[in-house]
Amino acid sequence: MDEQTPPATYQLRIRDFPQGERPKERLRDQGPHYLSNAELLAILLRTGSSSENVINLATRVLSSSGGLAGLSKAGFRELTQVHGLGEAKASQIMATLELGKRLSALPSGDRPVIGSPQDVANLLTPEMALLTQESLRVLFLNTKNQVLSVSEVYWGNVNTAVIRAGEVFRDAVKENCPSVIVVHNHPSGDPTPSSDDIKVTTQLFEAAKLLDIELLDHIVLAQGGFVSLKEQGKGFQ
């Protein structure tokens, strides 16, 4: 074997990855929705071993468990039998999955209710107004205007050239969600809607009608406040 050829057991360590490809940095810069199940699990596990980096460990754990659904049903002893998972890592996995189950089982009365643009601003401004790049998110609401979930659909560029209505409404169609609110931020600090913001709103409003989904509002958030395009009559006909 050539001296420069790494041994078969060699695994590239996470700290050797380019910064933009490391799971923690990608989560910080792009949001958790852009990470695979293996990458999210790798962040939870934190470390691999001398012969296996944490992403490969996470991938193998998911594969041996039959995916995320199988992992959620695995018992403590079953997890500790997976090579590379000790009691500490098995406990971390089980605790995190249990929190997710409890969150999804919360009674509907504990879900935020949206009655005005101010409610949306109160919910998302603390995080979104501080972002250094644009992020477009969709609030999925039930018939009582309770927030079922929030999904980040675009990151880094929110304009008519990149936004596709199919991406924005895909989950709403899949979950038979009756109404949505679209929200994006302006890193400049000024929430005044741009001409592109208005064009995007018109595009999404027309698509929502065809899909029999109600687009309740498009809200722009910034450190300087927020603007409801619905209240301003921009993009809603």
Provide the pLDDT for residue 10.
42
* Domain CATH code at residue 118: 3.40.140.10
How far is it between the farthest Cα atoms of the chain?
Answer: 71
Give the E-state strand segments of the chain in sequence order.
Answer: 135-141, 147-155, 179-185, 214-222, 225-228
Indicate whether 109 pLDDT > 80.
no
* Domain CATH code at residue 37: 1.10.150
Provide the pLDDT for residue 50.
75
Q: How far apart are CA 60 and CA 224, in angstroms?
A: 46
Provide the pLDDT for residue 236.
92
Last residue of a domain, one of 86, 104, 122: 104
Q: Are 141 and 213 in the same domain? A: yes
Last residue of a domain, one of 104, 135, 158: 104
Q: How far apart are CA 9 and CA 153, in angstroms?
A: 38
pLDDT digits (tens, 9 = 90+) for 176-227: 899 999 999 999 999 999 999 999 999 999 999 999 999 999 999 999 899 9
Q: What b/e readout covers 20-55, taking b as 16+ CB neighbours within 10 angstroms?
A: eebbeebbebbbeeebeebbbbbbbbeebeeebbbb
Secondary structure of residue 132 in the 3-state scheme: coil
Q: Are 19 and 123 in the same domain? A: no
Is-contact 222 190, C-beta < 8 A? yes
Q: How far apart are CA 234 and CA 199, in angstroms?
A: 9
Position 89: which residue type?
Answer: K
Per-residue pLDDT band at 4 (split at 50, 70, 90): very low
| The pair of three-digit structure tokens given for residue 78, joined into one six-digit string | 């079953």
pLDDT digits (tens, 9 = 90+) for 25-83: 887 777 777 778 888 898 888 888 778 888 889 999 988 888 887 888 889 999 999 98
Mean pLDDT score of the chain: 84
Is-contact 33 158, C-beta < 8 A? no
Close Cβ partners of 136 (under 8 Å, ≥ 6 residues apart): 152, 153, 154, 155, 158, 163, 168, 182, 183, 184
What total of structural domains would you count in the chain? Answer: 2
Q: Are 174 and 132 in the same domain? A: yes
Q: Are 130 and 37 in the same domain? A: no
Q: Are 193 and 139 in the same domain? A: yes
Is 3 contained in some domain? no
Burial of 151 (0-12, 13-18, 19+ CB in 10 A): middle
